[in-house]
Protein backbone atom coordinates (compact mmCIF):
# COMPACT_ATOMS: atom_id res chain seq x y z
CA UNK A 1 0.00 0.00 0.00
CA UNK A 2 2.89 2.35 0.83
CA UNK A 3 4.40 1.64 -2.58
CA UNK A 4 1.10 2.55 -4.22
CA UNK A 5 0.94 5.89 -2.39
CA UNK A 6 4.58 6.58 -3.20
CA UNK A 7 4.00 5.88 -6.89
CA UNK A 8 0.89 8.09 -6.85
CA UNK A 9 2.79 10.94 -5.18
CA UNK A 10 5.65 10.66 -7.68
CA UNK A 11 3.17 10.67 -10.57
CA UNK A 12 1.59 13.88 -9.29
CA UNK A 13 5.01 15.52 -8.96
CA UNK A 14 5.89 14.51 -12.54
CA UNK A 15 2.62 15.91 -13.89
CA UNK A 16 3.18 19.21 -12.04
CA UNK A 17 6.72 19.49 -13.45
CA UNK A 18 5.49 18.83 -17.00
CA UNK A 19 2.84 21.56 -16.65
CA UNK A 20 5.47 24.02 -15.38
CA UNK A 21 7.78 23.22 -18.32
CA UNK A 22 4.90 23.81 -20.78
CA UNK A 23 4.42 27.36 -19.44
CA UNK A 24 8.16 28.06 -19.61
CA UNK A 25 8.25 26.99 -23.27
CA UNK A 26 5.63 29.54 -24.37
CA UNK A 27 7.02 32.33 -26.52
CA UNK A 28 5.78 35.37 -28.39
CA UNK A 29 2.07 36.13 -28.30
CA UNK A 30 1.25 32.90 -26.46
CA UNK A 31 3.52 33.91 -23.59
CA UNK A 32 2.01 37.40 -23.42
CA UNK A 33 -1.50 35.95 -23.32
CA UNK A 34 -0.56 33.37 -20.66
CA UNK A 35 0.90 36.13 -18.44
CA UNK A 36 -2.37 38.07 -18.37
CA UNK A 37 -4.37 37.61 -15.21
CA UNK A 38 -7.94 36.36 -15.38
CA UNK A 39 -10.62 38.97 -14.79
CA UNK A 40 -14.36 38.71 -14.43
CA UNK A 41 -14.96 41.93 -16.37
CA UNK A 42 -15.80 41.96 -20.06
CA UNK A 43 -13.31 43.57 -22.46
CA UNK A 44 -15.66 46.53 -22.85
CA UNK A 45 -15.89 46.96 -19.07
CA UNK A 46 -12.07 46.92 -18.84
CA UNK A 47 -11.80 49.60 -21.56
CA UNK A 48 -14.30 51.74 -19.64
CA UNK A 49 -12.80 51.02 -16.20
CA UNK A 50 -10.24 53.82 -16.29
CA UNK A 51 -9.94 56.12 -13.29
CA UNK A 52 -10.39 59.87 -13.78
CA UNK A 53 -6.69 60.42 -14.55
CA UNK A 54 -5.96 57.32 -16.66
CA UNK A 55 -5.80 56.47 -20.36
CA UNK A 56 -4.61 53.56 -22.52
CA UNK A 57 -1.13 53.93 -24.06
CA UNK A 58 0.47 51.81 -26.78
CA UNK A 59 3.29 49.69 -25.48
CA UNK A 60 4.05 47.38 -28.38
CA UNK A 61 2.99 47.52 -32.05
CA UNK A 62 3.57 44.87 -34.69
CA UNK A 63 2.38 45.21 -38.28
CA UNK A 64 1.50 42.36 -40.61
CA UNK A 65 2.02 42.80 -44.35
CA UNK A 66 1.72 40.65 -47.45
CA UNK A 67 4.60 40.83 -49.90
CA UNK A 68 4.68 38.42 -52.82
CA UNK A 69 2.24 36.06 -51.08
CA UNK A 70 4.21 35.91 -47.83
CA UNK A 71 2.98 37.42 -44.55
CA UNK A 72 5.71 39.56 -43.01
CA UNK A 73 5.73 40.60 -39.34
CA UNK A 74 7.39 43.98 -38.67
CA UNK A 75 7.88 45.38 -35.17
CA UNK A 76 7.01 49.07 -35.27
CA UNK A 77 7.37 49.81 -31.60
CA UNK A 78 8.83 47.40 -29.07
CA UNK A 79 9.12 47.47 -25.32
CA UNK A 80 11.06 50.53 -24.16
CA UNK A 81 11.43 52.03 -27.65
CA UNK A 82 9.84 55.20 -28.99
CA UNK A 83 10.06 54.50 -32.72
CA UNK A 84 6.77 56.33 -33.15
CA UNK A 85 5.08 58.67 -30.72
CA UNK A 86 3.08 56.69 -28.19
CA UNK A 87 -0.54 56.23 -29.16
CA UNK A 88 -2.83 57.42 -26.39
CA UNK A 89 -6.56 56.78 -26.21
CA UNK A 90 -9.28 57.34 -23.67
CA UNK A 91 -12.41 55.26 -24.02
CA UNK A 92 -15.67 56.21 -22.33
CA UNK A 93 -19.38 56.18 -23.13
CA UNK A 94 -18.79 54.52 -26.52
CA UNK A 95 -16.46 57.31 -27.64
CA UNK A 96 -12.71 56.98 -28.09
CA UNK A 97 -10.63 60.11 -27.56
CA UNK A 98 -7.45 60.06 -29.62
CA UNK A 99 -5.22 63.15 -29.37
CA UNK A 100 -3.94 64.61 -32.63
CA UNK A 101 -1.60 67.02 -30.90
CA UNK A 102 -0.51 67.56 -27.29
CA UNK A 103 -2.45 70.80 -26.83
CA UNK A 104 -6.15 70.14 -27.33
CA UNK A 105 -7.13 68.84 -30.75
CA UNK A 106 -8.52 65.35 -30.58
CA UNK A 107 -10.18 62.88 -32.90
CA UNK A 108 -13.39 61.53 -31.48
CA UNK A 109 -14.34 58.09 -32.74
CA UNK A 110 -17.80 56.68 -32.14
CA UNK A 111 -17.61 53.05 -31.12
CA UNK A 112 -20.09 50.40 -32.18
CA UNK A 113 -19.77 47.21 -30.18
CA UNK A 114 -20.23 44.22 -32.48
CA UNK A 115 -19.68 41.84 -29.56
CA UNK A 116 -17.62 41.99 -26.38
CA UNK A 117 -14.31 41.42 -28.18
CA UNK A 118 -15.04 43.21 -31.46
CA UNK A 119 -15.50 46.98 -31.70
CA UNK A 120 -15.90 49.07 -34.87
CA UNK A 121 -14.94 52.75 -34.82
CA UNK A 122 -16.39 55.54 -36.93
CA UNK A 123 -14.98 59.01 -37.56
CA UNK A 124 -17.54 61.60 -38.63
CA UNK A 125 -19.95 58.74 -39.37
CA UNK A 126 -17.50 56.97 -41.72
CA UNK A 127 -15.97 53.58 -40.96
CA UNK A 128 -12.38 54.09 -39.79
CA UNK A 129 -11.03 50.94 -38.10
CA UNK A 130 -11.92 48.02 -35.89
CA UNK A 131 -10.45 46.29 -32.87
CA UNK A 132 -10.58 42.57 -32.30
CA UNK A 133 -9.54 42.05 -28.70
CA UNK A 134 -7.41 38.93 -28.37
CA UNK A 135 -6.66 38.97 -24.62
CA UNK A 136 -6.82 41.38 -21.72
CA UNK A 137 -6.60 41.87 -18.01
CA UNK A 138 -7.30 44.95 -15.91
CA UNK A 139 -4.04 46.68 -16.90
CA UNK A 140 -3.21 45.41 -20.38
CA UNK A 141 -5.07 44.80 -23.65
CA UNK A 142 -3.80 42.84 -26.66
CA UNK A 143 -5.78 43.60 -29.80
CA UNK A 144 -5.73 43.30 -33.55
CA UNK A 145 -6.26 46.56 -35.42
CA UNK A 146 -7.81 46.58 -38.90
CA UNK A 147 -8.32 49.70 -41.00
CA UNK A 148 -11.65 50.13 -42.78
CA UNK A 149 -13.32 52.35 -45.34
CA UNK A 150 -11.42 55.30 -46.77
CA UNK A 151 -8.68 54.91 -44.16
CA UNK A 152 -7.53 51.55 -45.56
CA UNK A 153 -3.95 51.81 -46.83
CA UNK A 154 -3.47 49.41 -49.70
CA UNK A 155 0.29 49.58 -49.93
CA UNK A 156 2.97 50.36 -47.35
CA UNK A 157 6.54 50.42 -48.71
CA UNK A 158 5.62 47.93 -51.44
CA UNK A 159 3.79 45.62 -49.01
CA UNK A 160 0.01 45.18 -48.69
CA UNK A 161 -1.06 46.12 -45.17
CA UNK A 162 -3.15 43.38 -43.50
CA UNK A 163 -3.47 44.37 -39.83
CA UNK A 164 -1.50 45.28 -36.70
CA UNK A 165 -1.32 43.93 -33.17
CA UNK A 166 -1.18 46.42 -30.33
CA UNK A 167 -0.62 46.08 -26.64
CA UNK A 168 -2.10 48.94 -24.66
CA UNK A 169 -1.34 49.46 -20.99
CA UNK A 170 -3.26 51.45 -18.39
CA UNK A 171 -1.34 54.67 -17.72
CA UNK A 172 -1.83 57.55 -15.31
CA UNK A 173 -1.74 61.06 -16.76
CA UNK A 174 -0.55 64.28 -15.12
CA UNK A 175 -3.16 66.10 -17.22
CA UNK A 176 -6.69 65.15 -18.15
CA UNK A 177 -6.29 66.01 -21.84
CA UNK A 178 -9.55 64.36 -22.93
CA UNK A 179 -11.76 66.70 -20.86
CA UNK A 180 -10.77 69.73 -22.93
CA UNK A 181 -10.66 67.85 -26.21
CA UNK A 182 -12.21 69.56 -29.18
CA UNK A 183 -12.82 67.62 -32.39
CA UNK A 184 -10.13 68.20 -34.99
CA UNK A 185 -11.05 69.88 -38.25
CA UNK A 186 -9.19 67.26 -40.29
Helix-strand-coil percent breakdown of the chain, rounded to 5? 25, 45, 30
3-state secondary structure of 19: helix
Percentage with pLDDT > 70 across the chain: 71
Taking only the tens place, the pLDDT of each residue in 26-85 is: 778 888 889 998 888 888 888 888 888 899 988 888 889 988 889 989 887 665 555 455
What global pTM score does this model have?
A: 0.76
The predicted structure's pLDDT at residue 80? 54
Please say if the pLDDT value at position 99 is more than 60.
yes
Per-residue pLDDT averaged across 138-148, rounded? 92
Please say if the pLDDT value at position 152 is more than 90.
no
- Position with higher pLDDT, 21 vs 101: 101
Please say if the pLDDT value at position 119 is more than 80.
yes
User: What's the CA gap between 28 and 126, in Å, rounded?
Assistant: 34
Please say if the pLDDT value at position 132 is more than 70.
yes
Per-residue pLDDT averaged across 97-112, rounded? 76
| Averaged pLDDT of the chain | 78
Amino acid sequence: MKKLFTLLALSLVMIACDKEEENEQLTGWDKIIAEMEEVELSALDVLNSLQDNEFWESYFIVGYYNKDGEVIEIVHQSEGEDLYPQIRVRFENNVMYHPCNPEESCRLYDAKVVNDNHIEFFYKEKAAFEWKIVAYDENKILLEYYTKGEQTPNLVDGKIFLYSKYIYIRTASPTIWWQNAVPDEE
